[in-house]
């Protein structure tokens, strides 16, 4: 008897689902794990102060988010995606091909990538070139006059530059699936790599090879992939004062009693240096919005208004509290207007 | 002759006796070492989790004297719920904080000052007014949650002796907190929000209840599907099915399924339930379906073992007095096998409760604030909540993470204890 009741319940559960998928009343957001901490704060604020439901946010990574976002129009597809880099042409074309015609681009602010070590050790002062030489898979042979690439021979920092400490090179950083890694490779590694003229020259003649040289991180155990969890990297740095770690600025900001940022090309990583663009390893963060869903899913416009309001992303806004680096006033105004007028992106 | 051989045997035995005893002692010692190692790890786990997590059960509150001014809450004076809910409660909070520190005047100083109180204070005041509009126009002492940084300071996780640049709070803020402490306006209270609230990005407002409800719906779907299907499969395979090639293949496959990594079921769930059937992403329903696939083999295998352990004499006796095959099974075999089946089911459920990998693929690893109202609402589950908090930058989430682990462990221990009690109470030895 009891069992038949359970069975009936289970059956009716399954049957009633077919009618369900037709509508949705909460915004769905996917995308970058770097944008996630900021979008969630806005979503929570939005859910508590408006009459709409709190948006649901999944942290899928930038690439994974784009894939879901561009899969099509309809309630089963997400309404927005966060990205820690600009949408790629290929992704935009994918969107178009699947009927996602109008996409609104909103830049929400900046994020810096910190290279940090434990407070128990002396702070590092690095240049991008040194970062590249320490972490690249192949570097120019230091012993030969002619330009020749060899497997990275450096084991100690002072082998790269005598001014650096005589300690083992040991860097904890994100794995290749992470957006932080993408940005680090693009900004720091490539930036440092182009300081070497012979490699820079390669860019014009053989772009693929240039990319391979600049974007390959060594795999001989010097660079340790520490997982997506930036908190873990902070803890490991605390336990191992000789190691350096690579992670988002907000984690440095929250753990300033345990770890310290290094200066890169003479600029110390901090709020102001990222905001004015003088810190070289910083990147913009974006939100992409599906215009076709406005009107179908309630609250998208209002959510955008909350995100782009001064009390959220302004200099004194609550996102700055969470570690987002605000854009300059002019830029904020431009993107707030874009969001308000729902100006679609064209590529 | 005979005498000497006998003696010799005894001698041989005696000579080896000490060695044999020693070997036995060593063998026992290995066992004890193994058990104590296990216990040691268990104790280390519990000590580290509890010592980190117990703090999260308490939360720092600040007492503010709030003037519920009518013009800020309800300028029209109609006491219309809609107008009341959109009142400027943030301003009330700021006003009362300013009142507590009249000497603070500079703009940047004020901003620093407002940071002492959680953004949850605004919602707290709104809820109070919504529940009791009589408050408007009066001045009340209200305990509101303090900011997570203040909480960390009061709990001693921020070292007041560190240089100013190295901590999250500056000297001025610490001075204010100390002033509040001396005035008795700061208090650590039992953190009810942790047990009743949904997720939040503010550690002081984050709760485990949303995830617990999500886990409940997910397990409900899993139980409703996997138990009847599992029992029916076990009964058919054990009691009715002929022994042939086909049943062998089925058996091998079931045993294989039990060993398939759970992420594979997640991918299957994404492809079939979401993409093909169009079920909603992130819903406990889909999570339950995926976990059903995962727990079915466990239940079937346990169910078959339980059926096997019912002695054939029971069946023969029932058949002997004229019961049909179905009566034999439903009246005699199944009731006797039920404790074993339930034990298997509960252990399967406990496994499902701790699972995250398959849920990643179907969108249940998400930030969800609202507490799910049904198996169709977006939801997350306890282990996912632990993962999300462990990944958050705010320091205060460290203790929340450990506290959430304690809650999850509590559920797991309770479920396993039920399994043990069921076995002890209803198990029959033949």
**DSSP secondary structure, A30-72, as one string:** EE-TTTHHHHHHHHHHHHHHSSSPPPEEE---HHHHHHHHTT-
- Say if A9 falls within a structural domain: no
**A36: domain CATH number?**
3.40.190.10
3-state secondary structure of B274: helix
Buried/exposed code over A13-41 (b: 16+ C-beta within 10 A; e: otherwise): bbeebeeebeebebbbbbbbbbbbbbbbb
3-state secondary structure of B197: coil
Among the three residues A236, A265, A282, which one is the final residue of a domain in this structure? A282
For residue A177, the model assigns a pLDDT of 67
Q: Nearest CB to A58: which of B279, B365, B394? A: B365
Percent of chain B surpassing pLDDT 90: 55
Which uninterrupted H or E stretch holds B71?
Answer: helix B70-73
Span B325-346, mean pLDDT?
92
Q: Which residue out of A4, A6, A13, A53 would a mutagenesis test of the B interface target, given it has the greatest number of B Cβ atoms within 10 Å?
A: A13
For residue B311, the model assigns a pLDDT of 92
| pLDDT confidence bin for B295, thresholds 50/70/90 | very high
Which residues from chain B sit within 8 angstroms of residue A230, using beta carbons? 391, 393
Which residues from chain A sit within 8 angstroms of residue B367, using beta carbons? 36, 40, 43, 56-59
CB proximity list for A22: less than 8 A, separation 6 or greater: A75
Q: Mark whether A232 and A302 lie in a shared domain.
A: no
Span B118-125, mean pLDDT?
88
Q: Which domain holds residue A44?
A: 22-111+284-341
Q: Mark whether A144 and A262 lie in a shared domain.
A: yes
Span B210-237, mean pLDDT?
95
Task: Say what angle helices B334-353 and B209-235 make with each other, to 10 degrees.
Answer: 140
For residue B36, the model assigns a pLDDT of 97
Which uninterrupted H or E stretch holds B213?
Answer: helix B209-235
Smallest CA–CA distance, residue B260 to chain A, in Å, is 24
Do A200 and A224 form a contact (C-beta atoms < 8 A)?
no
B301: pLDDT strictly greater than 70: yes
For residue A17, the model assigns a pLDDT of 46
Q: Nearest CB to B391: which of A13, A231, A253? A: A231
For residue B112, the model assigns a pLDDT of 84
Interchain proximity A17–B279, CB inside 8 Å: yes
For residue A20, the model assigns a pLDDT of 46
Q: Which residue out of A71, A254, A302 would a mutagenesis test of the B interface target, given it has the greatest number of B Cβ atoms within 10 Å?
A: A254
Which residues from chain A sit within 8 angstroms of residue B394, using beta carbons? 254
Q: Which residues pair with B190 in a beta bridge?
A: B58
For residue A51, the model assigns a pLDDT of 86
CB proximity list for B350: less than 8 A, separation 6 or greater: B412, B415, B416, B419
Q: Nearest CB to B200: which of A24, A44, A56? A: A44
List the one residue out of B356, B358, B235 whose CA is nearest residue B289: B358
Q: Mark whether A142 and A208 lie in a shared domain.
A: yes
Pick the more confident residue, B348 or B394: B348
Span B312-340, mean pLDDT?
93
Q: Mark whether A246 and A181 lie in a shared domain.
A: yes
Q: Mark whether A90 and A200 lie in a shared domain.
A: no
Q: Which residues pair with A57 in a beta bridge?
A: A29, B367
Span B106-135, mean pLDDT?
86
In A188-326, where does DSSP find H-type helix?
Answer: 190-193, 197-205, 207-215, 230-239, 249-254, 271-275, 300-307, 310-313, 318-321
Query: Along the 347 residues of chain A, how does pLDDT read in single tens digits?
Result: 455 555 555 555 544 444 444 578 889 999 888 898 899 999 998 988 888 999 999 988 888 899 999 999 988 899 999 998 889 899 999 999 999 999 999 999 998 899 999 988 889 899 999 999 999 988 888 777 777 888 888 999 998 888 888 889 999 988 876 777 888 888 899 888 888 888 888 777 888 888 888 888 998 889 998 876 777 888 889 888 889 999 888 888 878 888 899 999 989 988 888 888 889 888 889 999 999 999 889 999 999 999 999 888 988 788 887 888 888 888 899 999 988 998 888 87
Which residues from chain A sit within 8 angstroms of residue B228, using beta carbons? 3, 6-7, 10
CB proximity list for A252: less than 8 A, separation 6 or greater: A114, A116, A259, A261, A269
Smallest CA–CA distance, residue B228 to chain A, in Å, is 7
**A/B interface, count of CB pairs below 8 Å:** 109
Interchain proximity A40–B168, CB inside 8 Å: no
For Cα atoms B371, B373, B379, give the angle at the middle one, nearest 5 degrees: 55
Q: Mark whether A188 and A63 lie in a shared domain.
A: no
Smallest CA–CA distance, residue B55 to chain A, in Å, is 19
Distance CA B233, CA A165 (A): 67
Span B166-175, mean pLDDT?
84
Smallest CA–CA distance, residue A262 to chain B, in Å, is 15
What ranges do the domains of chain B cover? 60-189, 209-426
Q: Mark whether A93 and A135 lie in a shared domain.
A: no
Chain A residue closest in CA terms to B160:
A257
B305: pLDDT strictly greater than 80: yes
Do B424 and B197 form a contact (C-beta atoms < 8 A)?
no
- Say if A164 falls within a structural domain: yes
**Could you give phi then psi for residue A59, rounded to 5 degrees?**
-100, 100
Q: Is B253 exposed, middle or buried (CB count within 10 Å of its CB: 0-12, 13-18, 19+)?
A: exposed
B113: pLDDT strictly greater than 70: yes
List the one residue out of A74, A70, A16, A27 whose CA is nearest residue A52: A27
Which residues from chain B sit within 8 angstroms of residue A3, using beta carbons? 228
Q: Mark whether A161 and A47 lie in a shared domain.
A: no
Chain A residue closest in CA terms to B232:
A3
CB proximity list for A283: less than 8 A, separation 6 or greater: A84, A85, A110, A111, A113, A183, A187
Distance CA A20, CA A16 (A): 7
Q: What is the pTM of this model?
A: 0.81
Q: Which residue out of A71, A234, A257, A314 would a mutagenesis test of the B interface target, given it has the greatest number of B Cβ atoms within 10 Å?
A: A257
Span B23-30, mean pLDDT?
96
Distance CA A326, CA A261 (A): 20
Q: Mark whether A123 and A267 lie in a shared domain.
A: yes
Among the three residues A282, A299, A326, which one is the final residue of a domain in this structure? A282
CA B69 to chain centre: 42
Asked whether this complex has an ipTM greater than 0.85, the answer is: no
Pairing of strands A103-118, A282-290: antiparallel
- Say if A15 falls within a structural domain: no
For residue A270, the model assigns a pLDDT of 85
**Could you give phi then psi for residue A103, rounded to 5 degrees?**
-120, 130
Smallest CA–CA distance, residue B398 to chain A, in Å, is 9
Query: Total structural domains in chain A?
Result: 2
Q: Mark whether A264 and A141 lie in a shared domain.
A: yes
CATH-assigned architecture of domain B209-426: Orthogonal Bundle (1.10)
| Chain segment B178-209, per-residue pLDDT in tens | 999 999 999 999 999 999 999 998 899 999 99
Interchain proximity A37–B227, CB inside 8 Å: no
Interchain proximity B282–A41, CB inside 8 Å: no
Interchain proximity B367–A40, CB inside 8 Å: yes
Which residues from chain B sit within 8 angstroms of residue A256, using beta carbons? 165-168
Interchain proximity A40–B201, CB inside 8 Å: yes
- Say if A189 falls within a structural domain: yes
Among the three residues A282, A302, A329, which one is the final residue of a domain in this structure? A282
Q: Mark whether A226 and A328 lie in a shared domain.
A: no
- Say if A14 falls within a structural domain: no
Interchain proximity B370–A53, CB inside 8 Å: yes
Q: Mark whether A79 and A170 lie in a shared domain.
A: no
| Chain segment B65-100, per-residue pLDDT in tens | 988 888 888 777 777 877 777 778 888 888 888 888
Distance CA A45, CA A318 (A): 10
Do A249 and A113 form a contact (C-beta atoms < 8 A)?
yes
Interchain proximity A254–B367, CB inside 8 Å: no
- Say if A117 falls within a structural domain: yes
User: Cα dihedral sign for A78, A346, A310, A33?
Assistant: positive
Distance CA B215, CA A133 (A): 49
């Amino acid at each position: 008897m009891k069992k038949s009741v359970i069975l009936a319940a289970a059956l009716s559960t399954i049957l009633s689902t077919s009618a369900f998928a037709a509508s949705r009343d909460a915004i769905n957001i996917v995308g970058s794990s770097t944008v996630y901490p900021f979008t969630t704060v806005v979503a929570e604020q939005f859910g508590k102060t408006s009459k709409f439901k709190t948006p649901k946010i999944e942290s899928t990574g930038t690439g994974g988010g784009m894939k879901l976002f561009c899969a099509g129009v309809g309630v089963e597809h997400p309404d927005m995606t966060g990205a820690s880099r600009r949408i790629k042409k290929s992704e935009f074309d994918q969107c178009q091909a699947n009927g996602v015609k109008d996409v609104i681009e909103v830049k929400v602010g900046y994020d810096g990538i910190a290279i940090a070590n434990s407070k128990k050790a002396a702070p590092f002062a690095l240049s991008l070139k040194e970062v590249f030489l320490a972490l690249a898979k192949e570097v120019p042979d230091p012993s030969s006059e002619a330009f020749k690439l060899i497997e990275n021979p450096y084991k100690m920092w002072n082998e790269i530059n005598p001014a650096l400490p005589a300690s083992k090179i040991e860097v904890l950083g994100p794995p290749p699936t992470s957006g932080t890694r993408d940005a680090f490779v693009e900004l720091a590694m490539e930036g440092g790599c182009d300081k070497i003229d012979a490699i820079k020259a390669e860019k014009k003649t053989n772009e693929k090879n240039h990319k391979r040289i600049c974007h390959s991180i060594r795999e001989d155990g010097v660079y340790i992939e520490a997982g997506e969890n930036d908190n873990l990297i902070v803890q490991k740095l605390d336990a191992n004062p000789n190691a350096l770690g690579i992670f988002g600025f907000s984690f440095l900001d929250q753990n300033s009693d345990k770890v310290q940022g290094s200066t890169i090309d003479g600029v110390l990583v901090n709020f102001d240096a990222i905001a004015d663009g003088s810190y070289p390893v910083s990147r913009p963060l974006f939100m992409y919005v599906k215009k076709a869903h406005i009107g179908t899913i309630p609250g998208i416009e209002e959510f955008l208004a909350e995100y782009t309001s001064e009390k959220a992303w302004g200099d004194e806004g609550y996102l700055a509290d969470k570690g987002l680096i605000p854009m300059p006033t002019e830029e904020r105004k431009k993107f707030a207007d874009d969001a308000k007028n729902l100006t679609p992106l064209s590529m | 002759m005979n005498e000497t051989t006998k003696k010799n045997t005894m001698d041989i035995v005696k000579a080896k006796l000490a060695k044999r005893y020693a070997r036995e002692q060593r063998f026992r010692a290995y066992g004890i070492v193994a058990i104590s190692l296990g216990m040691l790890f268990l104790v280390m786990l519990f000590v580290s989790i509890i010592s980190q997590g117990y703090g999260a059960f308490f939360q720092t509150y600040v007492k503010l004297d709030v003037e519920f001014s009518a013009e800020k809450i309800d300028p029209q004076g109609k006491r219309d719920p809609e107008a009341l809910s959109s009142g400027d409660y943030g301003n009330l909070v700021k006003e009362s904080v300013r009142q507590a520190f009249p000497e603070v005047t500079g703009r940047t100083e004020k901003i620093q000052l407002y940071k002492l109180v959680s953004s949850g204070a605004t919602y707290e005041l709104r809820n109070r007014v919504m529940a009791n509009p009589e408050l408007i126009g009066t001045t009340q002492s209200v305990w509101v949650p303090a900011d997570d940084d203040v909480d960390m300071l009061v709990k001693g996780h921020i070292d007041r002796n560190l240089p100013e640049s190295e901590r999250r709070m500056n000297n001025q803020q610490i001075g204010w907190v100390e002033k509040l402490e001396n005035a008795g306006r700061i208090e650590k209270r039992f953190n009810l929000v942790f047990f009743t609230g949904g997720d939040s990005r503010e550690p002081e407002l984050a709760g485990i209840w949303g995830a617990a409800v999500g886990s409940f719906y997910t397990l409900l779907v899993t139980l409703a599907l996997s138990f009847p299907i599992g029992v029916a499969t076990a009964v058919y395979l054990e009691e009715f099915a002929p022994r042939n090639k086909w049943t062998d293949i089925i058996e091998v496959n079931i045993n294989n399924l039990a060993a398939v990594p759970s992420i594979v079921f997640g991918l299957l769930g994404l492809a079939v339930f979401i993409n093909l059937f169009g079920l909603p992403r992130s819903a406990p329903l889909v999570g339950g379906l995926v976990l059903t696939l995962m727990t079915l083999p466990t239940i079937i295998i346990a169910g078959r073992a339980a059926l096997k352990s019912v002695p054939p004499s029971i069946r023969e006796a029932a058949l002997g007095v004229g019961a049909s095959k179905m009566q034999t099974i439903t009246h005699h075999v199944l009731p006797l096998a039920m404790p074993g089946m339930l034990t298997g089911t509960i252990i399967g459920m406990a496994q499902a409760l701790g699972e995250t990998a398959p849920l990643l693929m179907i969108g249940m690893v998400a930030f969800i604030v609202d507490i799910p109202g049904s198996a169709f609402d977006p939801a997350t589950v306890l282990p996912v909540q632990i993962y999300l908090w462990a990944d958050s930058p705010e320091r205060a989430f460290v203790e929340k993470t450990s506290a959430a682990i304690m809650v999850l462990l509590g559920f797991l221990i309770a479920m396993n204890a039920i399994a043990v009690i069921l076995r002890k109470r209803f198990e029959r030895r033949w």
